[in-house]
Amino acid sequence: MRPYRLTVVYALVAVFLTVQFNHVGLIRSFNNAITAARFALTPQQVGGSDSVVIAIDSESLQVDREWPWDRTRYAELVTALNEAGARQIAFDIDFSSPGRGDAAFAAALEASAIPVYLASFRQPIESAPGVVAEMQPTEILRQHALLASTTFPVDEDGLVRRMNGGEMFSDGLVPNLAYALAGEPAHVEQSILNASIDVSQVETISFFDALTMRDLRDKVNGKTVFIGATAIELGDEFVLPVLGLRSGIYLNVMAYETAASHTELDYMPLGATLFLVVLAVLASMVPMARIGVMNYTLLNVGTFVGVALLGYGTQRFAGLVADVAPVHIVTIIGVLMMLAKSADQYAAALFRSTMNTRKHAMLLDAMMASNHDGILTINRFGEVESCNVRGAELLGFEMSDVLNRSLADILPRMHALINQRECNPFELEIDRREGGVVDVSYTYVDLPIASSRYETRKEARQILLITLHDLTQHKALEIAERQAKESHERASAAKSALISTMSHELKTPLNSVIGFGDLIASEALGKHEVAEYAEFGQMISTSGKQLLNVVTDMLMAGRLQSGETKPSLQIYSLVDVGKAALSAAKLRQSWCDPEVEIDMSAIRVRTDKQLLTVALEHLLDNAAKFGGKDGKITVKAEAHEGQLSISVTDEGPGIAEEELCSVTQMFYQADRSRARTAEGCGLGLFLAEQAAQVCGGFLRLRNLEKGLCAEIVLPAPIEAAVPQKAVA
């Protein structure tokens, strides 16, 4: 059921039950107890009132043991009170039966100068259920006295809380003694006694003391005198709120003081009680989760106290008794209902939280168990709080040897290194049977102070989280890699030494072969007898030059690959570099004398002229080789966005896209077939790229619609001048 529906249903039920049971059973008792408590909080003293009680007490019965007494004693008392100046007299004694001394008593009543009231009351007959006997003074006494009712309604719990304004007898309405003495007219309505009046403080005189005392005038002058039984033996007793068991004469005094001071009370209208009940329902049924436990408590405690103070105020100052028991009961039941609902919600939330925590704990356990790294947590006391199996294995311990032990005891070196560093990882050799090295990473996890009244910590705490990564295999691979690198460096050094040695050993005989071939071809030593000798000499010279180019390229490739070549940076004109490269390319065997167009600005660059010349030479040679005799080669230099671009473009077949990234590798041949038409050993583009890189640039290849563009990109030029074109 939705909260507002539950509130409406509860309000309707509470209103219905209040209407039906407010003045019956347990609720009536609760209301009476609250009303009595309010009376007890503000006791009113009557020491200054005009009430005096002349009591027929146990001492009086000791003086005259014959009860009922001869009524001449009452006659004597009436006479004495008249002489003492009493204002009025009220008898709470049954004079309904004739007795000795009636004549003397009647004479005293007739002679009295002040009003004398005799008690009349109605009493049910036990032997005749439903029949009520009217008990009034005898005719002789009634002729000379005033009649007043001393009957009080008794509640179901035996307490007297109300008084009648009068009582209907067969001969008419008889006023209540209290209203008669107070000079108020008789009426049939009931009022609530002011139980805060403390009648125990009323001046009380024993019956025979009143007859004999000389200072009676000082006691009763101008006052209302009540005469009645207080002896327990006579049984004239009633139970009053606050005061408890009291004689009937004091009940009449309380009623008189209430009427005289106009402090009689009435019940608050039922509508006001129902309004308070609805307010209590609304306050108690506010969802606790919406406003919080503290605000909910303050709201309902405030409602409870406010209703209690309202009831006290209306009773104390407005003369209205507020029946707030239903309001308090509704508040208590509503609070209990919301507590039960909140407890159920809390239990459900706690269950979900527990299951969620258990799920995360299981996931965390699974993650830690399956993790290839070791994980440890160290609490603020320096003890290992948790550790996965892998962590214990990496440390060379059993789990039982690690958990709840001090890190300083089991791994003093790790503890010392952690204290010396500021969350920087470090490597640590582990003393275990198979040896090993672990990478130790650690961090401090702060546990901040929670903003809750249940938080007992005064300062934030930290947990040290340590992660161990096994570096044993990694270290072995590093050693193997280092050894391989050292072996490669030794091989490279041997190769460099071989190249350096072979450079002289190969070039010297080749130059001799080329020289002698040229001599033979040119018939420098005389005309040959056989004409073919000159042709053979030319072939020897050409082949020697080709082989010399190959040897030179290989030696250059070896130097560039070894990384030992350092650029000799100087400022050169780019036009001079282009011309030198073209001249060198023309000396190569593959040169087929194509059309070459050089479009360069008079750009001056700071570079290694020899390396840049070598790069352009091989790009030109490659372009001539694949572009053919009928093709055209274009060499162009441009400065753009802080870079210098030197491009060599041919009209050949280009290179397959999938091989563009591979053709710059050493000895790579795009055409690996035995029937390939282009000569070469696959060093041209490799040398061009390596030379460009040493000069601080790079080589970029791209296919055109017809042909290939090889582009060397270098850092920005020193200066650029007017373009110059040359055609070879």
pLDDT tens-digit readout, 4-47: 788 888 888 888 888 888 777 888 899 999 999 999 988 776 65
- What's the pLDDT score for residue 492? 67
Give Cα separations from 475 to 126, 316, 394, 470 (angstroms).
115, 94, 15, 9
Structure tokens at 667: 């000895």
What residues have CB less than 8 Å from 531, skipping those under 6 apart? Answer: none
The rounded percent of the chain whose pLDDT value lies above 70 is 89
- What's the pLDDT score for residue 721? 44
Sequence letter at residue 268: M
Please state the domain extents for the chain: 1-41+265-368, 43-264, 371-449+459-470, 477-547, 566-727
Please tell me the distance from the alpha carbon of residue 547 to that of residue 679, in angstroms, as a whole number.
12
Residue with tokens 């009220």: 90
Average confidence (pLDDT) over 552-571: 73
Residue 107 has pLDDT above 90, yes or no: yes
**Count of C-beta atoms within a 10 Å radius of residue 290:** 9
607: part of which helix (H) or strand (E)?
strand 604-607
Please tell me the distance from the alpha carbon of residue 177 to that of residue 183, in angstroms, as a whole number.
10
Please tell me the distance from the alpha carbon of residue 18 to that of residue 36, in angstroms, as a whole number.
20
Please tell me the distance from the alpha carbon of residue 55 to that of residue 249, in angstroms, as a whole number.
8
Residue 678 has pLDDT above 90, yes or no: no
- What's the pLDDT score for residue 161? 94
- Sequence length of the chain is 728
Name the DSSP letter for residue 265.
Answer: B
**Count of C-beta atoms within a 10 Å radius of residue 383:** 15
- What's the pLDDT score for residue 718? 64
Instruction: List pLDDT tens digits, range 638-675.
Output: 877 778 888 888 888 888 888 878 887 877 776 654 34
Average confidence (pLDDT) over 551-568: 72
Structure tokens at 678: 């282009």
Nearest to 180 by CA among 82, 260, 251: 260
**Count of C-beta atoms within a 10 Å radius of residue 613:** 23
Structure tokens at 36: 């009595």
Nearest to 88 by CA among 46, 48, 44, 118: 118
Average confidence (pLDDT) over 52-80: 95
CB 330, CB 281: distance < 8 Å: yes
3-state secondary structure of 659: helix
Give Cα separations from 226 to 97, 115, 248, 256 (angstroms).
21, 12, 11, 10
* One-character DSSP codes across 122-160: EEE-TTSTT-EEEE---HHHHTTSEEEE------TTSB-
Instruction: List pLDDT tens digits, range 313-368.
Output: 999 899 999 999 999 999 999 999 989 988 988 899 999 999 999 998 898 888 88
CB 646, CB 575: distance < 8 Å: no
Give Cα separations from 627 to 71, 596, 664, 685, 712 (angstroms).
163, 11, 18, 15, 19
CB 277, CB 15: distance < 8 Å: yes
Instruction: List pLDDT tens digits, range 569-612.
Output: 788 777 888 788 788 777 776 677 788 888 776 777 888 878 88
Q: What is the mean pLDDT of the chain?
A: 84
3-state secondary structure of 356: helix
* Gap between the terminal Cα atoms of the chain: 100
Average confidence (pLDDT) over 90-116: 95
- What's the pLDDT score for residue 589? 60
Structure tokens at 716: 């920005």
CB 441, CB 466: distance < 8 Å: yes
pLDDT bucket at 499, cuts 50 / 70 / 90? low
Least confident of 89-98, 121-130, 272-281: 121-130
Please tell me the distance from the alpha carbon of residue 699 to that of residue 693, in angstroms, as a whole number.
8
Q: Hey, what CATH topology would domain 371-449+459-470 get?
A: Beta-Lactamase (3.30.450)
> Mean pLDDT highest for which of 137-146, 436-445, 517-526, 585-594?
137-146
pLDDT bucket at 244, cuts 50 / 70 / 90? very high
Instruction: List pLDDT tens digits, range 193-230.
Output: 999 998 988 999 999 999 999 899 999 999 999 999 99
CB 240, CB 160: distance < 8 Å: yes
What residues have CB less than 8 Å from 330, skipping those under 6 apart? Answer: 14, 18, 277, 280, 281, 284
Name the DSSP letter for residue 171.
Answer: T
- What's the pLDDT score for residue 3? 64
CB 626, CB 594: distance < 8 Å: no
CB 329, CB 30: distance < 8 Å: yes
Average confidence (pLDDT) over 512-522: 73
Q: Hey, what CATH topology would domain 566-727 get?
A: Heat Shock Protein 90 (3.30.565)
